[in-house]
Amino acid sequence: MLHDDANRKQEQAEYLGRVQALGQAIASAISAIEKYDRTRFEAHLAVQETICNRLTATNWKVLFEGTAPSLIEEVRQAHMALAQLNRVYAALLKRVRRSSGLIVALYRSHGEGYDRGPSPLLSQGHTWSCEA
Partner 1 sequence: MGSLLSTMWMAAQALEADQGALDATSNNIANQNTPGYSRELAIFTEATPTVEGNLTYGNGVLLQQIQSVRDQVLQLRIGEENQQQSSAQAQYGALQQVQNLFADPTQGIGADFTAFFNNISQLSTQPSSIPTRQAVLTSAQNLVNDFHATGQNLDSIQSGLNQTVAQEVSQINSLTQQIAQINERVGQMQRLGQDPGSLGDQETQLIQKLSQLTTVNQIQTENGLTLTTGSGTPLVVGGQSFALQTTNGASGMTDISSQGQDITSSLDGGQLGGNLQVRDTVIPGLLTQIDNLASQFTTSFNAAQASGYDLNGNHGQALFADTSGPGAANNLSLVVSDPSLIAASSDGSQGSNGNLSNLLAVQTQALPSGANPVDTYANLVSQVGNLTAQAQAEIGASTSSLNQLNNQLGAESGVNLDEETTNLMNYQRAYQAAARVVSTIDSLTQSVLDMGSGVTAAP
- Yes or no: say if 40 and 91 are a contact pair by the CB < 8 Å rule: no
- Yes or no: say if 25 and 43 are a contact pair by the CB < 8 Å rule: no
Nearer to partner 1, 3 or 35 (CB): 35
State how far the Cα of 4 lies from the Cα of 48, in Å rounded to an integer: 29
Question: Does the protein bind partner 1 through residue 122 (CB under 8 A)?
Answer: yes
- Yes or no: say if 19 and 79 are a contact pair by the CB < 8 Å rule: yes
Question: Does the protein bind partner 1 through residue 102 (CB under 8 A)?
Answer: yes
Mark the segment that binds partner 1 (CB under 8 A) among 13-21, 38-46, 59-67, 91-99: 91-99
List contacts with partner 1 (CB under 8 A): 30, 33-36, 83-84, 87-92, 94-96, 98-99, 102-103, 106, 122, 125, 127-130, 132
